[in-house]
Amino acid sequence: MGSYEPVLLKNRGVEGSCTLKVHRAGGGYAGAEKALKLSSDEVIEEVKKANLRGRGGAGFPAGVKWSFLPKDREKTILCVNGDESEPPTFSNRVLMESDPHMLIEGIIIAAYATRSQVAYVYLRVEFHEQFHILQLAIDEAYAAGLLGKDVLGSGFDLDVYVHRGAGAYVCGEETGLIESLEGKRGWPRIKPPFPAVEGAFGLPTVVNNVETLANLPHIMTRGADWFQSIGAGSSTGPKLFCLSGPVNRPGCFEGAMDMTCEELIYGDDYGRGMVDDVGVKAVFPGGISMGVLTGDELGMKMDFDDPRNFGLLGLGTAAAVVVDVETDMRDVLLNVSRFYSHESCGQCTQCREGTSWMYRIASRIAMGAGRIEDLDLLEQVSGRMGMMPGYSICGLPDGAAFPIRGLVQKFRTEYEEHMGRQRDGRAEAVLRVLN
């Protein structure tokens, strides 16, 4: 894999990489120029042929998503999802701070393909530096005639605005994002109608992730066949992988989707092993919502399909966090369950209540007051929430159920050992105080 030539991160670390000059020097905006000479349907066909699957988590092909838009529409809205709140994901951040013009170029191509005249970049509020970087790049693009009226002399008009969020995980869900864009609470909407038919402000809307859009310029310049040649099967194209936790070289890496989780952690081009060579106890390979792998399952391929063979929800955001052998899994369970109980938007009962229940159960296990039946209870609660059994509006509770169920199932012996070491009567005493 040493021969992989970075595409998305080619300008990272280059002096002045956020400026138009540097982006142009590396062949920037050639993809947009090429796209604007084609018809919008031809652009969609090319993206479909490349099978560019959404990088935001679900892996839905972007070209297919665009083709759901009604043919007779007059206005379309493009939303760029830069809400990136899934721990431990930061690939959008790295993209925006190292090459904002690549995103803007991708926005131009996507807007042209979907015939959108306005694009809103929904940026999470914690991205302060990235907001200023991106806004300055947008200002620069306007001044250079790349945005606004008559983009690149093609007669196509496009306005790009940054819309800052205000700290809510669920706004990364596409209809939650749309509600938030409209100035409301970020409550996901019941589908159908799907955003492609009735989205923001009642208009046909497309929501695409930042990384998905950053791939578009390269598909336009190098072609769908080049895109298909990276990786294998249905997992093709350049992909950003994030790695964090106690590894020697945490960071965002670009590669093909044919590496294993082990390569990501130990490979010389990637994580270079664990700090002090401690062992790996667990990995959340695709953002915490996708579920967890044990240290024996590192052979999992980081592509769209293999994670399902390991009881995971999918590839997710391909952001791996490594848990070393010295970590107490009760703390991990507590942290993960707290995240979802805090971020559940509260619309659907089983998610609002279920995530809080799981957090409370995890709290007492962490306090050394767990009972063996708590583990069964966690499995039970997590099995009865989410879109998969058909109880919820959005996928947040599925994302809560998978890691918690995975932790309980794959690390059950460890939790049982902890409980075995608890003093007799401790659980009852604590429960009396808690309840």
Partner 1 sequence: MAWKTIDRNEPVVDAGATPVLTEAIRGKIESFFPRYPTKRAVLLPALHVIQDALGFIGWQAMKEVADLLEIHPSAVFDTISFYTHFWTKPRGEKVVTVCRSISCELLGGREVLEAVKDHLGIGEHETTGDGKYSIAVEECLAGCDHGPCLLVNERMHKCVKAADVPALLADAGNADHGLPRSDLFDGPVVDDDRDDGVIASTSDVVEMQDSN
Instruction: By CB under 8 A, tell whether 85 contacts partner 1.
Output: yes
Please give the helix or strand (H or E) that residue 164 lies within, else none: strand 159-164
Considering only residues 373 through 392, tell me which ones interact with partner 1, judged by CB under 8 A. Answer: none
| Distance of closest approach, residue 246 Cβ to partner 1, in angstroms | 6
Angle of the 396-410 helix axis to the 349-366 helix axis, nearest 10: 30
The two beta strands, 280-284 and 319-324, are antiparallel
Contacts of 237 (CB under 8 A, 6+ apart): 50, 52, 53, 215, 219, 227, 228, 230, 231, 257
Q: In what order do the strands lie in the sheet with 118-123?
A: 159-164, 118-123, 77-82, 205-209
What's the burial of 420, exposed, middle or buried (CB within 10 Å: 0-12/13-18/19+)? exposed
Contact between 31 and 105 (Cβ < 8 Å): yes
Looking at 26, 59, 61, 88, which residue binds partner 1 (CB under 8 A)?
A: 88
Identify which range of 33-41, 324-332, 365-373, 415-423 contacts partner 1 by CB under 8 A: 324-332
Shortest Å distance, C-beta 6 to partner 1:
16
133: contact with partner 1 by CB under 8 A? yes
Give the interface size with partner 1 as a residue count (CB under 8 A): 65
- Cβ-Cβ contacts under 8 Å for 129 (sequence gap 6 or more): 97
Is the CB of 132 or the CB of 384 nearer to partner 1? 132
Minimum CB distance to partner 1, residue 154 (Å): 23
410 makes contact with partner 1 (CB under 8 A) = no
User: Rule CB under 8 A: is residue 111 a binding residue for partner 1?
Assistant: no
Residue 164 structure tokens: 């800052």
Q: Is 73 in the site for partner 1 (CB under 8 A)?
A: no
Q: Does 244 participate in binding partner 1 (rule CB under 8 A)?
A: yes
* Stretch 12-71 residues interacting with partner 1 (CB under 8 A): none
In the complex, minimum distance from the CB of residue 218 to partner 1, in angstroms, rounded to a whole number: 24
Q: Minimum distance between the CB of residue 141 and partner 1, rounded to whole angstroms?
A: 13
Which of 319, 362, 385, 427 touches partner 1 by CB under 8 A? 319
Binding mask 200-239 for partner 1 (x = CB under 8 A): -x-x------------------------------------
CB of 299 to partner 1, least distance (A): 23
Nearer CB in complex with partner 1: 57/217: 57
Identified binder of partner 1 from the candidate list 33, 46, 84, 398, rule CB under 8 A: 84
Tokens representing residue 229 in the block: 């040649």
The piece of 31-39, 44-52, 144-152, 158-166 that touches partner 1 (CB under 8 A) is 158-166
Strand partners, 159: 118
List beta partners, residue 253: 241
411 sits near partner 1 (criterion: CB under 8 A): no
Task: Work out whether 115 is an interface residue with partner 1 (CB under 8 A).
Answer: no
Helices 396-410, 372-383: axis angle to 10 degrees equals 150
Interaction between residue 167 and partner 1 (CB under 8 A)? yes
Query: Quick one: 42 or 157, whose CB is closer to partner 1?
Result: 157
Query: 75 vs 384, which CB is nearer to partner 1?
Result: 75
Residue pair 85/11 in contact (Cβ under 8 Å)? The answer is no
Comparing CA positions, the residue from 301, 289, 296 lying closest to residue 405 is 289
Residue 327 as a binder of partner 1 (CB under 8 A): the answer is yes
Residue 311 within binding range of partner 1, rule CB under 8 A: no
**127 vs 227, beta carbon nearer partner 1:** 127
Of 62-70, 104-112, 233-241, 323-331: span binding partner 1 (CB under 8 A): 323-331
Contact 315, 286 (CB under 8 A): yes
Query: Are the C-beta atoms of residues 36 and 155 closer than 8 Å to each other?
Result: no
Q: Exactly one of 17, 40, 76, 89 binds partner 1 (CB under 8 A); which one? A: 89
DSSP 352-411: HHHHHHHHHHHHHHHTT---HHHHHHHHHHHHT-STTTT--SSSHHHHHHHHHHHHHHHT
User: CA 376 to CA 344: how far, in whole Å?
Assistant: 22
Nearest to 288 by CA among 218, 237, 337, 236: 337
Q: Identify the helix (H) or strand (E) that includes residue 232.
A: strand 231-232
Residues forming contacts to partner 1 in the complex (CB under 8 A) are 84-90, 92-93, 124-129, 131-133, 135-136, 139, 159, 161-169, 180-187, 201, 203, 242-246, 250-252, 284, 288, 319, 321, 323-324, 327, 331-332, 335-336, 339, 341-343, 345
